[in-house]
Amino acid sequence: MREAIKAVIEELRNNSQIYQYDEATTKQAIILRLLNILGWNVFDINEVKPEYSMTGKRVDYALLINSQIKAFIEVKKISEDLEAHQEQLLNYSFQSGVKLAILTNGLAWWFYLPLKEGSWDQRKFYAVDLIQQATEDVTQKFIDFLSKENIVSGQAILTAEKIYKGRIREIEIRKNMPRAWNKLVSEPDELLVELLGETLEKLSGFRPDNEYIKKFLKKNLNRFIINDSFPKPAASPSTSQSVTASSKSRTIIKSKQVHPKEFPPDGTLCRFEYKGRLYEGIIKNGELHVNHIGAFSSLSAASVAVTNTSRNGWRDWELKLPNSTDWILADTWRKRKNIV
């Protein structure tokens, strides 16, 4: 099974015609082929049911075991934007009580736990990219989540739930870490005061009293606060004027920045899926600002920060230009603009 999946992936990567596949061709050449390798009898409609219908709605495939629906698979053509279709699939899955749902265009595979809590995007516990991700990783995830053996045994759901819980945990930690830090420095605990005093004593040989440390923390609070998630305390007039002047200076400097000729325009939304995680950002002042990571002067620099490997960012990031509703690969946009 493992080697057969790898062979299909390599074949797809070397097939330049796949980007012209319509939905029917995608189903036949990719979806059913992989399901067959994963142990499903694609010729048995009691196991792989096409155009499954319930309450007037249809989903492309239902995977059944002993007449019980174990998973829904919705297929779109390769050029289709999957995001526009996730709500329909997940609503249907939720209403039908189906634990596992997959949305795919043949190359991108988005795996969901529809019955879990959170937004639709939070219920997407993993994303597979047949082109970008390592062949071994993709192969293992197909076996973990979609092999008949693992679905029958329930192991597929157990693995998915473990990843989902880890992802939710990461989201909550990332969201609340700044709040915890801000609370710690704005309402200093005795332990923090003691720690700061001990450290100062080791460095200087002198230890201040606790009240001095608390006054120091209060006086420098603006320096410690992470502004994205915690409001600044009211500043004195002189401090406000200083901040305003500093902000004006930064604005003047930024206004003088010249956007690289090949860079997408300001306001362009950007996204990049890597190892099951979606990274999002926006172009502002000629830089790509990636949420929770930083600002970068090139797409490749952003990709390096995300992956810790050398990559061509033009082939990683998708763009949604201002006043556009469609996502487009950055490299495709660049070529259309005839930029060398």
Give me the residue spans of the domains in the chain. 2-153, 173-254, 269-336
Q: Among 5, 15, 74, which residue's Cα sits nearest to residue 38?
A: 5
- The whole-number average pLDDT for the span 116-125 is 78
- Distance between CA atoms of 171 and 117, rounded to whole angstroms? 13
Structure tokens at 63: 């995977």
- Distance between CA atoms of 230 and 235, rounded to whole angstroms? 14
- Distance between CA atoms of 230 and 39, rounded to whole angstroms? 52
Condensed to tens digits (0 to 9), the pLDDT of residues 294-330 reads 888 888 888 888 887 767 888 899 999 988 888 999 9
- The whole-number average pLDDT for the span 116-133 is 80
Report whether 310 contacts 304 (CB < 8 A): yes
* Dihedral angle computed from the Cα positions of residues 277, 278, 282 and 286, in that order, rounded to the nearest 10 degrees: 50
pTM above 0.75, yes or no: no
pLDDT of 245 above 60 = no
Report whether 65 contacts 58 (CB < 8 A): no
Q: What is the pLDDT of residue 296?
A: 85
pLDDT over 90 percentage in the chain: 30
Among 33-47, 150-164, 214-228, 229-243, the range scoring the smallest mean pLDDT is: 229-243
Report whether 105 contacts 76 (CB < 8 A): yes
- The whole-number average pLDDT for the span 44-73 is 89
End-to-end CA gap in the chain: 43
- Distance between CA atoms of 206 and 229, rounded to whole angstroms? 35
Q: What is the pLDDT of residue 255?
A: 34
Q: What is the pLDDT of residue 44?
A: 93
Reported as a pLDDT band with limits 50, 70 and 90, residue 232 is very low
Reported as a pLDDT band with limits 50, 70 and 90, residue 85 is confident
Q: What is the pLDDT of residue 231?
A: 40
Q: Among 307, 336, 306, which residue's Cα sits nearest to residue 319?
A: 336
- The whole-number average pLDDT for the span 55-77 is 89
Reported as a pLDDT band with limits 50, 70 and 90, residue 171 is low
Per CATH, which fold does 2-153 belong to?
tt1808, chain A (3.90.1570)
Provide the 3-class DSSP secondary structure of residue 140.
Answer: helix
Q: What is the pLDDT of residue 50?
A: 93
- Distance between CA atoms of 74 and 114, rounded to whole angstroms? 13
Contacts 24+ apart (CB under 8 A), 318-321: 318/270, 318/271, 318/272, 319/264, 319/268, 319/269, 319/270, 320/268, 320/269, 320/270, 320/271, 321/264, 321/265, 321/267, 321/268
pLDDT of 117 above 80 = no
Condensed to tens digits (0 to 9), the pLDDT of residues 254-276 reads 333 334 457 889 999 999 998 88
